[in-house]
């Protein structure tokens, strides 16, 4: 195998592992037969980093599995307070908030460390404060927020280049001839500003997904009759783009697909090929992101994520309650469920359910 950029032979000395779908967004498809180390360094990480940054809120909420590390925390707001969302959706105050009401000072913080820092600041203003006593008497409670606001965007030159690189990698990975992608390399490298990379938002889904499926999809299609060669890229169901590799394709028909479920971490195939009609390719491909359409689809994705995180939270609550019950009532001493054990388990589950889901029971 040769590097598709410089055509040098790939050896153990110069080969490098390349993720076809970014590992930062949960991609697992990778190869050591695409590109050499020198050319990979020319591409750099800037292009990939921008796409990973834009999709990080989704990665965070789903706590996507990566080879190394976890998704970064996401900043959000709640009633004018800055919130940090940790991977998996757990939220906490980004810092302590202090409110003075006459002679009463309220401090709200996520950790004792934040509270100590806030108290030290207050002690400079009120030297007589006994910070140790205040910490000892502080009320510790757990609350779940009803909703927070997250800002998110998608698109731009760097992101478009990252999608183009993904398409090129998938084409070469499937045995494609590098001659069809040479014209795209200057665009990926940032030397040229334009390439045929389009946002794609059809009126209906191209293929079926159940309500808890969230997929990364790549489709490679070569059609000598219409002379086009393209890759369709769909990330997290709703970030959809088409990359034209060539409009002069005249070789054998090509169809290759890759579907990866980021929830179950499974690769699977559809029994019938996913086809995009030529008229739809023209009608729904645009240079600019349709903000209204994108917001609709993003809302749908977040609703899907919400259902998944609720199921995960229910599982966490029940598993944790079972562990606490087993710890309190060892199995060797309690081979059968007793009424006391059932009451303990029910109480632990009920408390956590109310804390986690009380906002869903609130009516206007």
Nearest Cα residue to 229 out of 196, 203, 200: 196
> Among all chains, which residue has been given the structure tokens 């976890």?
70
Confidence (pLDDT) at 362: 46
Extended beta strands in 88-137, E state: 91-93, 97-101, 104-108
Give residue limits of the domains in the chain.
18-61+154-289, 74-136, 292-361
Q: Are 229 and 244 in contact (CB under 8 A)?
A: yes
Whether 220 and 255 have beta carbons less than 8 Å apart is answered as: yes
Report the distance separating Cα 232 and Cα 249, nearest Å: 16
Q: Give the burial string for 264-289 (b: 16+ CB within 10 Å, else e).
A: eeeeeeeeeebebeeeebeebbeeeb
Q: Could you tell me if 37 and 15 are in contact, meaning their C-beta atoms sit under 8 angstroms apart?
A: yes
> How high is the pLDDT of residue 359?
55
Q: What is the pLDDT of residue 107?
A: 84
pLDDT at 76: 87
| Tokens 């990939």, residue located | 48
Q: Could you tell me whether strands 197-200 and 285-286 are parallel, antiparallel, or unpaired per DSSP bridges?
A: antiparallel
Positive/negative CA dihedral, 44, 45, 46, 48: positive
pLDDT tens digits, one per residue of 182-213: 999 999 989 999 999 999 988 888 888 888 89
Name the stretches of the chain with pLDDT < 70. Answer: 142-147, 355-364
User: What does DSSP assign to residue 25?
Assistant: G
Residue 218 and residue 232 in contact, taking contact as beta carbons nearer than 8 Å: yes
Q: Is 31 exposed, middle or buried (0-12, 13-18, 19+ CB in 10 A)?
A: middle
Cα 192 to the center of its chain, rounded Å: 29
The pLDDT of residue 1? 85
Q: How many CB atoms lie within 10 A of CB 17?
A: 13
Q: What are phi and psi of 40, to 5 degrees?
A: -65, -35
| 142-145 contacts at long range (C-beta below 8 A, 24 or more positions apart) | 142/355, 143/355, 144/355, 144/356, 144/357, 144/358, 144/359, 145/78, 145/83, 145/91, 145/359
Measure the CA–CA gap between 91 and 112, rounded to whole angstroms: 16
DSSP string, 55-97: HHHHHHHHT---SSS-PPPEEEEETTEEEEEPTTS-EEESS-E
22, 51 in Cβ contact below 8 A? yes
Across the strands, what pairs with 125? Answer: none
């Amino acid at each position: 195998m040769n590097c598709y950029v410089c055509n040098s032979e790939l050896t153990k000395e110069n080969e490098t592992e390349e993720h076809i779908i970014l590992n930062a967004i949960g991609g697992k498809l990778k190869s050591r037969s695409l590109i050499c180390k020198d050319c990979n360094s020319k591409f750099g990480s800037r292009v990939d980093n921008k796409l990973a940054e834009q999709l990080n809120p989704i990665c965070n909420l789903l706590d996507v599995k990566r080879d190394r590390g976890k998704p970064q925390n996401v900043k959000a707001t709640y009633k004018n307070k800055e919130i940090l969302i940790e991977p998996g959706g757990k939220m906490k105050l980004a810092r302590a908030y202090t409110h003075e009401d006459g002679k009463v000072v309220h401090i709200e913080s996520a950790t004792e460390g934040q509270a100590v820092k806030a108290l030290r600041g207050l002690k400079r203003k009120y030297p007589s404060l006994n910070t140790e006593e205040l910490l000892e008497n502080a009320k510790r409670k757990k609350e779940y927020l009803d909703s927070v606001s997250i800002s998110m965007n998608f698109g731009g030159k760097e992101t478009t280049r990252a999608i183009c690189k993904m398409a090129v990698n998938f084409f070469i990975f499937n045995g494609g001839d590098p001659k069809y992608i040479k014209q795209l390399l200057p665009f990926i490298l940032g030397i040229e500003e334009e390439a045929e990379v389009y946002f794609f938002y059809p009126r209906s889904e191209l293929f079926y997904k159940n309500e808890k499926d969230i997929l990364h999809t790549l489709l490679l299609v070569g059609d000598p009759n219409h002379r086009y060669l393209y890759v369709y890229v769909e990330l997290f169901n709703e970030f959809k783009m088409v990359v034209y590799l060539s409009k002069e394709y005249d070789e054998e028909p090509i169809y290759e697909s890759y579907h990866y479920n980021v929830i179950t971490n499974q690769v699977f195939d559809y029994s019938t090929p996913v086809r995009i009609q030529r008229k739809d390719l023209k009608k729904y491909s645009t240079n600019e992101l349709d903000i209204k359409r994108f917001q609709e689809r993003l809302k749908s994705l977040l609703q899907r994520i919400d259902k998944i995180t609720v199921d995960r939270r229910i599982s966490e609550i029940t598993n944790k309650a079972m562990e606490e019950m087993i710890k309190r009532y060892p199995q060797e001493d309690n081979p059968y469920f007793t009424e006391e054990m059932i009451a303990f388990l029910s109480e632990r589950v009920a408390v956590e359910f109310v804390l986690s889901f009380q906002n869903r029971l609130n009516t206007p």
